[in-house]
Structure 1
């Protein structure tokens, strides 16, 4: 098998193209999740559903055992984007994959011990569910090595910008994350069976990712694991380790604290809308997944391209996220009432509004986070995460005690807003040319923020529909005329045709 041809650093147009593929890989799973979740809640009950949603969040915490190697591996490969993979690059890749898998084994064992203690002494669930919950979470902990190996291989694929192949694999697997547990519950009404299905999905993903990586870098077949090559990866990933520890803790602290301070059942009122709104960040990930390796490849060689990549990435995220966040916020109560039931909607609609606001801001902020890592300054994000932890923890607790679950949603949205402001300022301080890009994207960010704040007000359906039309027109007017230049407007106009053309070529290639 021939080696891949040398690759040039991504241009702004590639951000749009790769975003199209990433979006295609995420649309189908979202619809399946929306259809399946009500039935899952019904079969599991609120307490077990709360545990299930926390369990899915637990998978993200395995990233604390990454020690920054996943992102460092992506950056190392992307930094050689114009070179054909050589023997040392293959050795680094194999060493990184094996190392992360070993870290996954260690992390899974640590998580298993912590889970047993938390279920019996921290989690407020009926006593008859304790044994079932403990074993189910142990099964999930056993998948930690697969999660870590998948993260390493995803880093390889993104460095090569192989988003088409990766997403064609992710579509059926992501669908089975929700459909599989439903089918398992119809046969065995137990959380253990649900977790076994999720473990099988992880294994499926590992095998599929490995095949793609071998195709992208066939040198891996003859590569050798050389631990000494980890030294530069650890130097790059040292500060990323702090972020990898802080990020999942910050991101999932609200769910664990709700379960501990209030109850596992109350967690359902938060995690259900959070799971839906969190799916909107898949649109964000469609952009950031392509932007990070592009920044790593271009920031030293081409300042103008790097600034254009940043601006295009943020504008794309804003254009994609705003309508879904605004619609979900304005119609949160009728959507939840139709999807779950009216009583559930009464408890969760305001929570959903705050979460929509936070997701929009965090989407814009995610580009700055990827940019700092891409230019080799993960220490800035890590220090920011430490500061966030010190402020957010007491704030979340106070808001929970005083305002209940709604307080947790407010605290999260506030954290996302402050995070965006501070990280943008830090990015400009470290890379002065970025200031022009920040100034260009800021008007749409402010208008989007204010529109979502306005959606917090309770409205009738007719007023909400009118507000959606008016606020969308204002936002896209500012985005189109106030933030984009002529070349960007032309690129966005060509975007749908570009995606369809690539999809047509992919189908033709598959047929041949």
Structure 2
């Protein structure tokens, strides 16, 4: 009997171990963000703000192209999870081979385009004359860097789908530590941007090699090397819808940096990048729960159908919404001050960018988080696409007037408003799709959240008055935020623990 005909089998039952899985998933995803937070002051100091702005622009282009990969990367987790639920190692092997081949092709295409377009791109941007040659060299690394980054996503998806979060954390943390040490040892004052690109590519290759080595027992490479036509068609349709959603990530996020690069000196890309990095890092903390939640919900849907997935949504959402909203309010209140502690008061504008973006991100993650996992798990990513494009349309309509009124902050304000409007629309769509509903927030939620935010802001003001900056002071600024969140948790947790999901309440 072929492996595709085996009965459903779960090496890791989805109903157990979600909390430790979220913890290790958080460590795996936090490692690159923490590495960037630590290295950013070092790079600004050693490279200078103009050269750091050029490096930030390359990272923006890399992030953009990573999102615009045809939806392949965003689809791998769901299809690997289905193979894992069915014990289909050969299917997983074909999926790995096909994804790596596709990513290599994308890298070749981008490299060819960069060879032709790099001089025109650099000339169109406000790059200082002394840095143009270095910027052109750097952009030629974009294709290989893209292939390495996407290949690492394939290895990561394989481990996530098989609930190998502990191993994933080890691979991610090890590669980031190696990268950080290499940057500190090798990068000095001067034209070191191509070297930075080589080191970044090396980090991605370490993740790929380590992830595939650890995940080797979950796949089997046999002919035919590519998935059958029916699966390719299914994957392709899913990936197209995921790509349409992913394109809105570009329009709602990465395009802000490109607009700034087109209208302002390149150093302002670095100013924006610092604020965006802070907001994105804080936004990502709740998102660390996504891989294990998506894996669990996909397994539940594979075994129990739509009814099981709906019930799983209500079990998770009843605690997700108040917890994430509290986290979002507290961190949004404190992030502007924290950025000044991190980089100095001269970059207060970066703090304003971070605060505005994080406000929109917080609403988006709170309202759409578990819903996103739900629609992906049941094979309906088109609903995510619809809300994403609605958010993008609102963003594009508001960008010009808000930019004229508020400058750089207006660019990100349009993004925040668009994300908020789109998230509300997604709630409506999911209610129509499967009757997904919300509870009211707990009665003590406003007072507990306001108290937590006040503690975080006052604590950050005290740290800012010390007039010391860098990573260690930033860690100190994080302490009052943690204290505030702990106070809110103590006030809210008893009520949240007592909550029953809607499905249980309606059971006779």
TM-score norm. by structure 1 comes to: 0.80
Aligned match of 1:220:
221
Aligned match of 1:70:
73
Change (3 A) 1:305 1:134: same
Aligned match of 1:307:
311
Aligned match of 2:37:
34
Q: Give the aligned CA root-mean-square deviation in angstroms.
A: 3.9
1:439 matches 2:443: no
Change (3 A) 1:112 1:474: farther
- Displacement, 1:199? 1.6
Contact 1:25 1:171 in 2 (8 A): yes
Structure 2 distance, partners of 1:353, 1:72, is 31
Q: Which one of the candidate residues 168, 171, 175 is aligned to 2:170?
A: 168
Aligned match of 2:493:
480
Contact 2:50 2:266 in 1 (8 A): yes
* Superposition pairs of residues 83-482 of structure 1, within 5 angstroms: 83-110=86-113, 113=116, 115-121=118-124, 123-186=125-188, 189-217=191-219, 219-220=220-221, 224-226=225-227, 228=229, 229-299=231-301, 301=304, 303-304=307-308, 306-309=310-313, 311-312=315-316, 315=319, 319=323, 322-323=326-327, 326-327=330-331, 329-330=333-334, 332-333=336-337, 335-345=338-348, 347-364=349-366, 365-432=368-435, 434-435=436-437, 438-439=438-439, 461=461, 472=485, 475-476=488-489, 479-482=492-495
Change (3 A) 1:447 1:253: farther
Cα deviation per residue 1:406-441 (whole Å; 9 max; x = unaligned)?
A: 222322322232232111221221111x21xx2266
Aligned length: 479
Contact 1:166 1:209 in 2 (8 A): yes
Structure 2 distance, partners of 1:477, 1:407, is 37
- Displacement, 1:70? 3.2
Secondary structure, counterpart of 1:143 in structure 2: helix
- Displacement, 1:350? 2.5
Structure 1 distance, partners of 2:141, 2:301, is 42
Cα deviation per residue 1:442-485 (whole Å; 9 max; x = unaligned)?
A: 989988998899999999937999x9799757853674355443
Contact 1:104 1:148 in 2 (8 A): no
Structure 1 distance, partners of 2:102, 2:335, is 47
Contact 2:329 2:449 in 1 (8 A): no
Aligned match of 2:506:
none
Change (3 A) 1:445 1:44: farther
Cα deviation per residue 1:302-324 (whole Å; 9 max; x = unaligned)?
A: 53564335653684586478458
Cα deviation per residue 1:105-138 (whole Å; 9 max; x = unaligned)?
A: 33454466555433211x2221221221121122
Cα deviation per residue 1:51-95 (whole Å; 9 max; x = unaligned)?
A: 222322222222344322334343233234442225445334433
1:46 matches 2:59: no
- Displacement, 1:291? 1.7
Structure 2 distance, partners of 1:64, 1:46, is 26
Structure 2 distance, partners of 1:460, 1:242, is 40
Structure 2 distance, partners of 1:306, 1:331, is 35
Cα deviation per residue 1:236-278 (whole Å; 9 max; x = unaligned)?
A: 2221221232323322111111121223212222211221231
Structure 1 distance, partners of 2:55, 2:422, is 29
- Displacement, 1:284? 2.7
Change (3 A) 1:463 1:170: closer
TM-score norm. by structure 2 comes to: 0.80
Secondary structure, counterpart of 2:439 in structure 1: helix
**Which consecutive residues of structure 1, in runs of 5 or more, have no partner in the other structure?**
489-512
Change (3 A) 1:113 1:168: farther
Structure 2 distance, partners of 1:149, 1:164, is 20
Contact 2:334 2:453 in 1 (8 A): no
**Which consecutive residues of structure 2, in runs of 5 or more, have no partner in the other structure?**
465-476, 502-508
Contact 1:318 1:444 in 2 (8 A): no
